[in-house]
Structures are given as C-alpha cells and as structure tokens.
Chain A
Amino acid sequence: MNALNRSLHLRAVVALVIAASAHAAHATDPNLLQNGTFDASVGGAGWTNVGTGGAGYVSHPDAANSATSGSYEVTNSTGRSACFRVVPNAAFSFGATYSGENLFGATSDGGMTCYAYASSDCSGSAQTLGHIDMPYSDPWVSLVFNGNLPATAGSGNCELSDTTTFIPTYKASTYFDNVFFDSTAAAPVPVKLDGYLSGNWYDTDQAGHGFQLEFTAQNNTLLAIWYVYAPSGGAQNWIFAQGTFDPTQNTVTIPAVLLGNGAFPPMFNPANVTRTPWGTLTFAFSDCNHATVSWSSTLPDYGTGSLPLNRLSHIEGTVCPQ
C-alpha cells in the first residue's frame, strides 16, 4: 500500500465516523431513506472491479456497512428511490456522503436530485426540489441540500446518478453512502372520507373553477358539484355528481350528470330540464387539505384528466382529525 492510498483510506475512515454520528440522527426521522428503499442493489461487502478503462466504475456497495444507512450502489448510471410520502410546506433536507478515489484523469458527472409530486404516489409531473452535484473529490464529503416542500407536495423520490469515465492507468472509484431524505413533519396517513372534508376545493394553479364537496349524513352520500366552463370555451358549466362514499376509505368514485335546457327563475320549468350522463369523478384525499380529482367523461370534448386539489374552505363546526 503506498502512502497515497493509506492517506485516502484514513480520510475515508474519518469521514465515515462523522457520517455515522450524523446518520444516527436521521434514523429517528420519519422520512429516512433506509436500505431497501432504493431500487438498486445495496449491501454486501468488498470491492467490485468493473473495468479498468473507458466507462466503468469500482464501487463499494455499503461503505459504512450499516444496517440503517441508506447507501446506494451507483452503476455508472441513474437510479431512483422508492416513492415516499411527504407533508406540504414542511422543511426537508436530503443528501449523502461521497468519495471518489483515483480520479486522476477521470471525468465524473452526477449527483443527487430529489423530486416532489402533487399526487400521493409519485404519479404526475415532477417538481425538482434540489440537486447536489457530485464533486470531483478524493476525500469523503458530506453533501446536503436544505429546503421547504411546496404547498402541493404529496409524495417524493430521489435519484442518484454517477457517470465516471477514467483512464486505464488508474482504477477510479466513486461512492455514495448515508443517502437520506429527512423531513421535519411526519409522513401523512391518508385521511378517511367524512363530513369534515366538505368544502370548496380547487387547483391553486387554476383559480376560477372548482368543486363544492359535501359529505352528507344522508346514506353516506357525497354530493360534488364542479363549477367550471364548457370545452368549447366561454360558457359556464356545472357538473353534478352524487354517489355513496365509504367512511373507511380515502377515495371515492361517483357518477356525474349534466343538466341542460333550464331557465333562470321564474321562467325555470323542471319539466324542460334534460339530464345527460356525463361520466365519473374520482376524489382521492391524501390528507385534510390535499386531494386529487380525476375524471372520465363519456361526453365529447370533456375527455379524461386529473388535477391536484387544495382545500379552500371548511365548514364551521367540523374538525378534520389530522
């Protein structure tokens, strides 16, 4: 072992001691990404030598050899963690410890990026929470990114990427270890459908249309009225839906109808009103103030789609349990 390698080894040990103590704090946090939450191989001991030139890597799967540290084997590519739940507006921090060895002549690129989604299952469009660039660094370094989750965040995931190309003379190695995503707030438990979810709900990016939701005491009937506009533009539309909800669930699908051919009172004549089946509306609540609506219409031009919903109002006298 030459002096350089010994020096690197020592520095790595020092870094790991620090990382281990920092990691102990993460372990009690609810959103720690532990071993097993990443979808690539983790664990085991020893070195894996994959190539001595060109695109390749030498990795150590779990540098801290810890059962609870979130370490991640980066295979010269990109890997994404499992989806986890997050609380809107909560503070978060994510990061990892990183080391590259024998990077002389190598070109390295990559880092860690975490994303938030309005949905509760990482579906839909991703919003980048932050990115930490992988440094060109021999000693272990702690990479941390701090921020606050967006108001629409319901879930998140993280991605590690590593693309290292090194020259034949040196067997370069890159490591990520102690990969974590922490949030100060506990991951939410889906709320159950009940009267306290009644109110006005809308997409904060689309102020001007929305839903009046009413979880009634009458045979567990949900009344949902979407006040919106016609697909052709300009004219108003209101889409009336009602159906049974299950108070043990957080999701409900009900049929909707489009009423037409009425008139404003006193000219209103109920005998003239037409009722056309419109399709279905599905509401999925992630907590007391966030939900997703999705629709599937059988009428031309309404199509299918979904929107994140935020609660605008709540009924006096009701208390949402979370």
Chain B
Amino acid sequence: MKRAARRRVMCSLSLALALGAIAGSAHAAQDATFAAGVPLGGFLSGNWYDPAQPGQGFQLEFTDQNSTLIAVWFVFAPSGGAQNWIFAQGAYDHAASAVTIDAVLLTGAQFPPQFKTSDLQHVPWGTLTFTFSDCDHGQASWSSTLPGYGSGSMPLTRLTSIRGLACPQTGAQP
C-alpha cells in the first residue's frame, strides 16, 4: 500500500523529479560567478524552484509587453497547511541580471462559477527579487510587509524552458 502511494506521487511529478536530477548535478557548479550573470529576457521564462524544496516554486514569465515580468509564487501559508499564491509583476531591465518587483496577495473569492471579481481583496505583500547567474540558476529573495512571511532567500534552479526559445548562455559556464 505504501508502495502504491509512493508510485502515484512519482508519476504526478515525474517531470519535476527527472529534471531535478539533471539540475542537481549542475546545481553543484553554482558558485561565486553570480556577478557575471545573464541578462534578463524571455528565454529565462519557465518554472524555477529549489531542488531541496520540491512542492513550491515560481512561474516566471518575461513578457514583451513593456518589458514586464510576471512572477507567480506557488507556495503555502506561513501558518502551514493552506495554499498560497503570490502574484507579482513589474518592469525588468534587459541590461540587468536582477529584477525587483512588487507582489500582491489576492483573497476573498471563490472557485468558479461562484467567482466574483468584486469579492477580491488586494493586499500588498512586499517585493520579490530575482537574480540570475546563468541560464539555469538564480536566486529569489523576498521582503514581505505582511506578518508571517518575513524576508529570506532561496536558490533557484530552472525546471522548464519554453519550446522554441534558446537561452544565449552569456553567463559564466562551468
């Protein structure tokens, strides 16, 4: 019975595990070459997470609409148990390898068809900063103004990339 349960988990996150294994070896190469960085662009879009913390992570989207970064953090509440998603968006600079954007916490609505936009409460959450050392490695740091979230940082490894986009690998490579 335990084995069956474990098998189900492995299937549902097969991609995460497979890529986590690939990323794991590259992860060790992450070092003090941060400063070189990779310039921000659409090719950094994808799912990014900390391989030591599978089960929460970021969906990053570097759009071509006014150089806007959309970042959604799929995570859990500080009190534990409940899910949280933290939505952030703001402008990024193509010449930089780091970006800081404002985040908001939306609550109060219901699953469709009961969803009503007018039920939503928009609560400013704080800021998220993303720094990229190369095409597959970065760091997220946060500073929240809401109780319980505090400030902190975590290493990020790329889980996915967009089909048809190639990262130029201008950052330091091992």
Contacts and interface: CB of A to CB of B under 8 A. Distances in A.
Interface in A82-121: none
A194 B63 contact: no
A192 B146 CA distance: 43
Contacts, number: 204
Given A194-B164, A217-B162, A231-B111, A264 B75 contact: yes
Instruction: Name, among A194, A214, A258, the residue most crowded by chain B CB atoms within 10 Å (CB to CB).
Output: A214
B55 A268 contact: yes
A316 B81 contact: no
A294 to B, nearest CB: 11
B132 interface: no
Interface residues of B, number: 64
Interface stretch (B24-32, B95-103, B112-120): B112-120
B36 interface: no
Nearest to B22: A218
A36 to B, nearest CB: 38
Interface string A164-208: 000000000000000000000000000000111011100000111
A264 B76 contact: yes
B84 interface: yes
A318 B83 CA distance: 31
Contacts of A234: 107-110
B162 A208 contact: no
A20 interface: no
A213 to B, nearest CB: 9
A316 B41 contact: yes
A227 interface: yes
Contacts of A219: 15
A27 to B, nearest CB: 39
A227 B64 CA distance: 22
B3 interface: no
B111 A229 contact: yes
B84 A236 contact: yes
B66 to A, nearest CB: 10
A259 B82 contact: no
Interface in B55-113: 55-56, 59, 61-65, 67-68, 70, 72, 74-85, 87, 105-113
Contacts of B164: 194-196, 217, 318
Contacts of A261: 76, 80-81
Q: Which 4 A-B pairs have the closest CB atoms?
A: A316-B42, A262-B76, A195-B163, A317-B42
Interface of A: 194-196, 198-200, 206-209, 212, 214-221, 223, 225, 227-238, 240, 242, 255, 257-268, 270, 273, 275, 277, 301-302, 305, 307, 313-318
7 contacts: A195-B165, A216-B160, A228-B115, A259-B56, A264-B84, A307-B112, A315-B162
